[in-house]
Structure 1
Amino acid sequence: MKFWIPHPGHTSGLEALLSGIDDLGRVEAVYTGGSPDEVGTGRPNLHYPRLDEVREQVELAHSHDVLYDVVINSTCPLRGEPTRRVAERYSNYLEELEKAGVDGVVVADPFVLKLAAEVFDRITVSCLAFVNTSEKAEFYADVATAITVDTSFNRRFEVLEELSRLQVELKVIVNEGCLLDCPYRPFHFNIFSHLYGPDEVSVYDDYYYRRCIADRLEHPELIIKSPWIRPEDLGHYLEYVDAFKISGRSHQVEWIVEVVNAYLEGRWDGNLLHILDCPRELRDVFYVPNPELDGAIERWKECDFRCHECGFCRELADRVVEVREFKSTVVGEVSV
């Protein structure tokens, strides 16, 4: 059982992370975001390491027998620029990462995948490529060494079984708290790709973020439907996947250490939302006692995703999800 864990980007954070993990021997790699000054990434980091910092951090990770990956999974790498100019920028950055000792990269766009394949042998396809069929997986598997499965398919075990037959390593994200089959997801990550890239754009109001929270305030069963995987349930995935990815590189290192240790131990006794990489406001409103979810995975393994006919997640939410407090100021007014 291998783990792939988030690194917030600064060297002191990496030091704290590597020293705070209880069983570091089970951690295959740390990953952090690519520099927005160069190419950008699909999610925010607390800090984006410069190339000199990358070299220092690679040495630090390797001294603990841990690999070091960089995520450059922008969903909009071209941004309206000429392809040749973008290709040159990405290729130069990839080559600099390789010279700095980086072990591998994580990409989403097929264009970037081809550029990365000219430099790196270790390439992971991001969850933002939305790989959820064997046909799509085969397309990426021709070049990539690993694929991170579309998170909305974490509980579709028949799909995981089919993908596991391919000659490529499979990874699943265990603690992402996004909505199941989220309609906002591709558009939201396009915004992130511009915000955390070389465009120097600003967004003064994140509709998708507020909408995401508001939907769950109105329908708490959506929290249960989110395709997270509990620490206690990792064993159900061992026959299908090769590594577990823990999400959360925008969080403080203390939180990351706590979450990683919970998954390494295979147990969490508190609020499930505390270990999920989800809108943090939700933790202030809802308490989901993780032990109360024991056994639910058995039902989800047989799920046909006909939610309108089933009602299991709604009934489970009614029974276990506790509403601590509701404040309209959490998201403000959401309208369109």
Structure 2
Amino acid sequence: MRKFSVPTPFTSGFIEQLAELNEEFDGSGGRIFEIYGSFQSGAFHSARPAKYLPAIDKNQFRSHVGRGREKGIRFNYLLNAPAYANLEYTSEGRKKLEELLSFLVDSGVASITVAVPYLAEIISRCFPQLEVVVSTIGYVNSLAGIGQYRDIGVGRIVVDVEVNRDFRFLEKGVAEGRTDLEVIVNPVCISQCHFKYNHYCVASTGAQSFLHGGAGAPYNQYYLNWCFLKKLQNGVEILKSPWIRPEDIGVWQETGISFFKIAGRGLDDTRIVQLCRGYLERRFSGNLLDLLGWPHWLTFRENPDGTCLEPLEIMLDNSMLEGFLKFFAEHKPQCRYGCSGCGHCERWARRALRYNDRKLLDLYSKNMEENLSSLVAQIPSGMQTVEAAEKWRRQAGEQRVDG
């Protein structure tokens, strides 16, 4: 059975849409078994910034979890920030954590995803009603890591995306038994990126309720800019990124993996349902980047003079990718050692990747290079810092939902 964990926007009717999908694909071998999400901010918060998350209250939360349970869909709460400024070591912090976890149990939450080992053991010992899941931000990419978390009571591990295509590790990790492994099917990270840990630290601080009036601390576009500039400068990075095509889910199932996570907090219900349908159907036609939700380069359309570039279209033709991912299962390349002498992704990029305008591609790259240089060289003024915080709070406050 392919068990999918999907993000929830907490909107009314979303649970019913997922239930309809489960009914439609009943008997297919795939099912949405879990939704995941969190409050917008808090003393103990998630790894996503507040301005992108729905601003729900406790009553909305309880109601949403309850509707899911009625439809046979459990709830996973994200407590997956990589650090909490050592709040968990204080009297006040432990009391706040206890209050949150007690509320989640009372609300019918089934599991908690964490990235901090100390929190994992606290929950597994003190709240045994809750399954403890290790976040991908826990960076489990070795058998030792699986064993360490298993020993403190973890039931499931969302592996580091860097091992998504490392079938030697996945096969051995599954064979270890006793702890279920889960993979994220649609990550956008550059392969073997060592900047993503700090990116998660920065993003999670954007949900810390002790900062800037409860909305978290704002940050700039440095990491998004850097990541997508690298993809524009070298298109093969798009293929190296560790996503999984809907058509190839079975390759991972053959290792014994049955848990698959669809990323996408911050997306609306229409986009999330589209993602769910694609992976339940195990088929998608057209531009795979449309399914994965990747056109972040469009954020950098504005020129220094205030004019805007035309939209840059990048096409990753899914019909041309049949066999691309099977290579990793059959040949088991060790990508962490580098690409020298391989050439697999380069060959497939030449086949499947297209741009609507190469000159436009160069203009986007130029804009992003200039923006990156500005972010690094310029020191923001006090007024700019205040304005950024005010904008952040305003954007967070706009994320009300009808659920």
Q: Which moved more, 1:223-232 or 1:41-50?
A: 41-50
Q: Which moved more, 1:217-226 or 1:242-251?
A: 242-251
Cα distance in structure 1, aligned partners of 2:81 and 2:227: 21
Q: Which moved more, 1:76-85 or 1:258-267?
A: 76-85
How has the CA–CA distance of structure 1 residues 93 and 261 changed in structure 2, closer, same or farther, with 3 Å as cutoff? same
* 1:247 matched residue in structure 2: 263
Q: Is the 8 A contact 1:38 1:93 kept in 2?
A: no
Opposite residue 50 of structure 1, the aligned amino acid is D
Opposite residue 6 of structure 1, the aligned amino acid is P
Q: Is the 8 A contact 1:214 1:334 kept in 2?
A: no
Cα distance in structure 2, aligned partners of 1:266 and 1:20: 13
* 2:159 matched residue in structure 1: 149
Alpha-carbon displacement from aligned partner over 1:153-211 (angstroms, at most 9, x marks no partner): 01000000111023111111001111111121001000111002213343352201110
Deviation at residue 277 of structure 1 after TM alignment:
4.9
Q: Is the 8 A contact 1:175 1:246 kept in 2?
A: yes
| Aligned positions of 1:189-208 closer than 5 A | 189-198=200-209, 199-200=211-212, 201-208=216-223
Cα distance in structure 1, aligned partners of 2:321 and 2:97: 44
- 3-state SS in 2 of match to 1:31: strand
Deviation at residue 319 of structure 1 after TM alignment:
2.3
Opposite residue 275 of structure 1, the aligned amino acid is L
How has the CA–CA distance of structure 1 residues 72 and 164 changed in structure 2, closer, same or farther, with 3 Å as cutoff? same
1:287 aligns with 2:321: no
* 2:238 matched residue in structure 1: 223
**Equivalent residue for 1:300, pick from 299, 314, 328:** 328
Opposite residue 230 of structure 1, the aligned amino acid is R
Cα distance in structure 2, aligned partners of 1:263 and 1:154: 16
* 2:34 matched residue in structure 1: 29
1:5 aligns with 2:6: yes
1:321 aligns with 2:353: yes
How has the CA–CA distance of structure 1 residues 80 and 5 changed in structure 2, closer, same or farther, with 3 Å as cutoff? closer
Q: Is the 8 A contact 1:9 1:48 kept in 2?
A: no
1:162 aligns with 2:162: no
Alpha-carbon displacement from aligned partner over 1:67-110 (angstroms, at most 9, x marks no partner): 11111101112357853332222221111111111111111111
Q: Which moved more, 1:128-137 or 1:322-331?
A: 322-331
Q: Is the 8 A contact 1:39 1:90 kept in 2?
A: yes
- 3-state SS in 1 of match to 2:120: helix
Opposite residue 309 of structure 1, the aligned amino acid is G
| Aligned positions of 1:1-336 closer than 5 A | 1-19=2-20, 22-23=24-25, 26-44=31-49, 45-78=52-85, 83-117=90-124, 118-119=126-127, 120-142=129-151, 143-166=153-176, 167-198=178-209, 199-200=211-212, 201-238=216-253, 239-278=255-294, 280-281=296-297, 284-301=312-329, 302=331, 303-305=333-335, 306-325=338-357, 326=361, 327-328=363-364, 331=368, 333-335=371-373, 336=376
Q: Is the 8 A contact 1:91 1:115 kept in 2?
A: no
Cα distance in structure 2, aligned partners of 1:51 and 1:80: 22
Q: Is the 8 A contact 1:11 1:53 kept in 2?
A: no
Opposite residue 136 of structure 1, the aligned amino acid is G
Cα distance in structure 2, aligned partners of 1:219 and 1:174: 22
TM-score under structure 2 length normalisation: 0.78
Cα distance in structure 1, aligned partners of 2:78 and 2:96: 16
Cα distance in structure 2, aligned partners of 1:92 and 1:206: 34
Deviation at residue 300 of structure 1 after TM alignment:
1.9
CA RMSD of aligned residues (A): 2.2
Cα distance in structure 1, aligned partners of 2:87 and 2:99: 19
- 3-state SS in 1 of match to 2:109: coil
Q: Which moved more, 1:47-56 or 1:189-198?
A: 47-56
Q: Which moved more, 1:13-22 or 1:3-12?
A: 13-22
- 3-state SS in 2 of match to 1:124: strand
Cα distance in structure 2, aligned partners of 1:162 and 1:275: 30
Number of residue pairs the alignment of both structures matches: 336
Cα distance in structure 2, aligned partners of 1:32 and 1:148: 15
Q: Is the 8 A contact 1:77 1:86 kept in 2?
A: no
Deviation at residue 304 of structure 1 after TM alignment:
2.7
Opposite residue 169 of structure 1, the aligned amino acid is D
Q: Is the 8 A contact 2:79 2:113 kept in 1?
A: yes
Opposite residue 9 of structure 2, the aligned amino acid is P
TM-score under structure 1 length normalisation: 0.92
Q: Is the 8 A contact 2:82 2:115 kept in 1?
A: yes
Alpha-carbon displacement from aligned partner over 1:229-279 (angstroms, at most 9, x marks no partner): 110111111133121111102111101101110000001111111121545
